[in-house]
Amino acid sequence: MTISNHVLRADVLVIGFGKGGKTVAAEMGRRGRNVVLVEQSDRMYGGTCPNVGCVPTKALVHHSGKRRADDSPQEWYERAVGSVQALTTLFRGSNHDAMNDADTVTVVTGRAAFVDPHTVVVGTGEDQLAVTAETILINTGSEPIIPDIPGLRASKRVVTSADLIQTTELPERLAIIGGGYLGIEFASIYRRFGSQVTVLESAPKILGRLDDDVAAGAEGILLGEGIEIVTGVRVTEVRDGESATTVVYEENGWRRTVEADAVLAATGRAPAIRDLGLEAAGVRTTDRGAIAVDEHLRTSRPHIFALGDVNGGPQFTYVSLDDSRIVMDQLVGEGRRSTADRVAIPNTLFMTPPLATVGITEKQARETGRRVKIASELVADIVAMPRAYVVEETRGVMKFVIDAETDEILGAALLSIDAQELINTVALAMRHGIKAAELRDGVYTHPSSTEAFNEVLGTIVR
């Protein structure tokens, strides 16, 4: 690493400590390259996932499910948040030390902005540092979208998901604007902690991208938990009072209100590109505000790559990890790997029980003109899945969409205990051409959730 006149000269500069960027930084460092990794906040070493995303939210899912009926909601929640914060602090420190202790990697804390295609400045005034590199990776992630609703941004009770999981005061009444995956996940968590939860969704129904039977099963579970879900609404105003905030919305032409102690804006996330100085670097963006990349994740400047949420792809940590493999193949490999290689990428909504999906839905399959057959069964009816009864979680449904002519698995929706694990087996089978009959006749441990495949895939109904 060369340092002169407040200029660091490196082989590789990584902007952002997310999964994809840190993985490339570590590997290039192991290969003897000089790497500078810039992270704007000392609270975000390791990226969104271990600090304000996957790890703390899933830990809260776990803690919320352990609360007993006679436990004080506020005391239980406060203990849970303390435990989660200790965990994220541990992960954050481990991420920083693992990277900064490497002889070839330097971690710099501060906001980076391009001044030319090969150089960024970090910090301001006397603390300003310039970093120049031949190869640059942008891995700045995404940030919550706060919609332009009158009074929302000014409200002292509006929170983002990152804000909410760090407060130790459990809101007695939580209003959630947005019924997508984030909104539903937080509704499930906070209802189980003891909050009264109202979800306001603009679409005619929640989970509209799923088949109606699966969506209805999920909604039934949420309603059964005591979550109020109001769809087809338009939030028109958020108004703070002395002791609560009023959320005003229109439903079927009627003006209605809900009172809340906290209002969660769960209307999506946008690529975090503000103040990066992309114009100075000659890096183009898309109409949706993401950094434009090709199938190898190169930007309009071939030596600059964009990984993770900032490139507008699926906002999943595991996709960011796969981004790192594509970039590494460009830097030190054969350069063949691309985003086009990705098939059967699963995802999970961590409600309770979790809802995991992969591939296409029955509706999508039929729209293609294919002849399909469906295997579907309620979890409560799956005799070959005693684990559901052992852990006392028999809610949900398992559904497979299968090509009637080839027996190829086209998609699956698993709303069940352990669905976040089961879906990976299904996705692997889809990637490698394993037929539905082979998955049906597999030999699985007992008692396990996986053995449900033996039964469900034998229930072809049409």
Q: CA-to-CA distance for 54 and 60, rounded, in angstroms?
A: 10
The beta strands (E) that lie in 139-261 are given as 142-144, 158-159, 173-177, 196-200, 228-230, 233-240, 245-251, 254-260
317: domain CATH number is 3.50.50.60
Counting the structural domains of the chain, the total is 3
Query: Is residue 333 part of an annotated ligand binding site?
Result: no
Q: Mapping DSSP to helix (H, G, I), strand (E, B) and coil, where does residue 87 land?
A: helix
53 known ligand binder: no
Q: Is residue 32 part of a domain?
A: yes
**Strand ranges inside 97-141, DSSP E:** 105-109, 112-116, 119-122, 129-138
Out of 6, 63, 118, 446, the active site residue is 446
Q: Is 184 annotated as a binding residue?
A: yes
Which conformational region is residue 417 in: left (phi greater than 0), alpha (psi within -120 to 50 degrees), or beta?
beta
Residue 461 lies in a domain: no
Asked if the structure places residue 281 within a domain, the reply is yes
- Say if residue 21 is in the same domain as residue 46: yes
287 shares a domain with 140: yes
7/123 same-domain check: yes
Distance CA 392, CA 394 (A): 6
Question: ∠ CA 203-372-362 to the nearest 5 degrees?
Answer: 10
Tell which of 249, 267, 285 closes a domain: 267
Residues 13 and 127 in one domain: yes
The reply to whether 249 sits in an annotated binding site is: no
Q: Is 29 annotated as a binding residue?
A: no
- Which residues constitute the domain of residue 47? 2-144+270-341
Quote the CA–CA distance of 169 and 74 in Å, as a whole number: 7
Same domain, 387 and 427: yes
Whether residues 288 and 241 share a domain: the answer is: no
The answer on whether 201 is annotated among ligand-binding residues is yes
Both 128 and 53 in a single domain?
yes
pLDDT at 5: 54
* 411 is a domain residue: yes
Identify the three-state secondary structure at position 47.
coil
58 is in an annotated binding site: yes
- CATH number, domain of 364, equals 3.30.390.30
Q: How far apart are CA 202 and CA 134, in angstroms?
A: 46
Our answer to whether residue 62 is catalytic in this structure is no
Would the annotation count 179 as a binding residue? yes
Does 152 reside within a domain? no
pLDDT tens-digit map of 284-334: 999 999 999 999 999 999 999 999 999 999 999 999 999 999 999 999 999
Residues 292 and 390 placed together within one structural domain of the fold: no
Q: Using CA atoms, how far apart are residues 277 and 318, in angstroms rounded to an integer? A: 27
Beta strand 173-177 with 269-271 is unpaired
255 lies in the same domain as 290:
no
Q: In this structure, are 259 and 303 located in the same domain?
A: no
Q: Which residues of the chain are modeled with pLDDT < 70? A: 1-5, 461-462
Neighbours of 181 (CB within 10 A): 19
- 133, 214: one domain: no
Residue 175, pLDDT score: 98
182 annotated binding-site participant: yes
Helix residue ranges per DSSP H, 33-108 = 48-52, 54-66, 73-100
pLDDT recorded at residue 144: 94
Distance (Å, whole) CA 219 – CA 226: 11
Q: State whether 24 and 59 are in the same domain.
A: yes
Please state the pTM of the whole predicted model: 0.93
In a domain, 38, yes or no: yes
